Amino acid sequence: RGEFVAVFQPKVKLETGELVGAQALARWRRADGAIVSPGRFVPVCEEMGLIGKLGRVVMRDACFAAAGWTRNGIAARIAVNVSPQQFDEPDFIQSVYQVLDESGLDPKQLELEITESAAVADPDRVARIMWPLRNRGVRLAIDDFGTGHSNFASITRLPFDVFKIDQQFVRALA
């Protein structure tokens, strides 16, 4: 019914306050206007095998929104989380290409985020999926880095542009 939507968390350059991008976040806006927490609906979507469909909705909303921002003079990069289940879908690469083509978004403005655990589960398979996207210009980020048991050697063989260090790891540095 169109109740799942993307909302956007801005990313700003600390030194200048300049908007440099946004993170797309899934939200469920029920017909009665109530907002359901992702902590409640994401696990249910994963359990029911619907997380890929939810991910495609968010990616589509995000790409169309970012393309609109660009047309209005705001060339901000959009980051979209990709669930391990969505990443495993046989048509994943084609679905990304399709939404880029339909939205008109420059692939360089799209940043896909996968979790560290998904990246290290099968690095060769991950590389086979990621390289075609990377070669088209899509930026790739590893999310929650520092929560798993990967080592830098295995991760550096993959074409990541961004490493998002997990907050627990950063807090431990102090």
Quick one: 23 exposed, middle or buried, by C-beta within 10 A (0-12, 13-18, 19+)? buried
pTM for the predicted model, two decimal places: 0.83
The residues facing 143 across adjacent strands are 115
User: CA-to-CA distance for 29 and 3, rounded, in angstroms?
Assistant: 5
Q: Region 79-89: what's the mean pLDDT?
A: 88
* 171 pLDDT more than 90: no
Q: What is the pLDDT of residues 43-79, one digit of tens each?
A: 999 899 999 999 999 999 999 999 999 999 988 899 9
Q: What is the pLDDT of residues 130-157, one digit of tens each?
A: 889 999 999 988 765 555 555 555 666 6
Q: How far is CA 119 from the centre of its chain?
A: 13
